[in-house]
Amino acid sequence: MKILTKSILLLIALFMLTGCPYQSAVPVGDPEQKLMKSLLGKWQKGEEDNNFYVVDKLGKYQYQIEESIFNNELQDFEKAYYQGHITEVKGEKFLSIINQTLDENAGQNYFSIYKLEINSDSEFVLFPVSNYIRENFDESTMLKEFIAQNMHLSFFFGEEETYRKISNP
C-alpha cells in the first residue's frame, strides 16, 4: 500500500511538472493528409534511454504509435497504444493523437493535440497545445479555426519535446 501511495504521488508530481497537452473531444481535422514516411520508425524522447516509441503505418492517413516505458520495479516495459494523424493549419502541422489503450468503460476518450515540427529525417519536435486552454469544441472545424486564430500567442504551447530516430521501420 505504501509503495502504491508513493507511485500515485510520483505520477501526480510528474504531471504537475511536465503538464499535459490540451485534451479535445474532436481532432483538429479529419485524417486526410498522407503519411510522412520519415516519421515511421523507432524514436526516443530527449535523453530517455529506456523508453521508446514505434511509429507505424495505420492505413493511408493514420499512424499507429506504440509507447514502451520501462518500469524499473517490474523490470519490464509497459506498453500503450495510440492512433494519430496530421492536419495542416496555416502551413503548420498539427498532430491529433488518441489513446487506444484506455478501457472502453472509462468514459470519454480525448485527443491530445500537438504542433509538429520536423527538423530532419531523424529528428522532430512536438509542441503540446497548452492545457491552460479551457475552450471545448464539438466540431473539428471550430477547433481548427480556434488554433488558426491563436497559435501565434506565447501561451498557446507548452514545453517542446524533441524526439530522435533510433531505427527505421
**pTM of the shown model:** 0.83
Strands 62-71, 52-58: pairing is antiparallel
Q: Rounded to the nearest 5°, which phi and psi values hold at 38?
A: -65, -20
pLDDT at position 106, please? 63
* Per-residue pLDDT at 18 exceeds 50: no
pLDDT at position 1, please? 46
Tens digit of pLDDT for each residue in 120-168?
Answer: 999 999 999 998 899 999 999 999 999 999 999 989 999 999 999 999 8
Residues 53, 67: contact at Cβ < 8 Å?
Answer: yes
pLDDT at position 49, please? 80
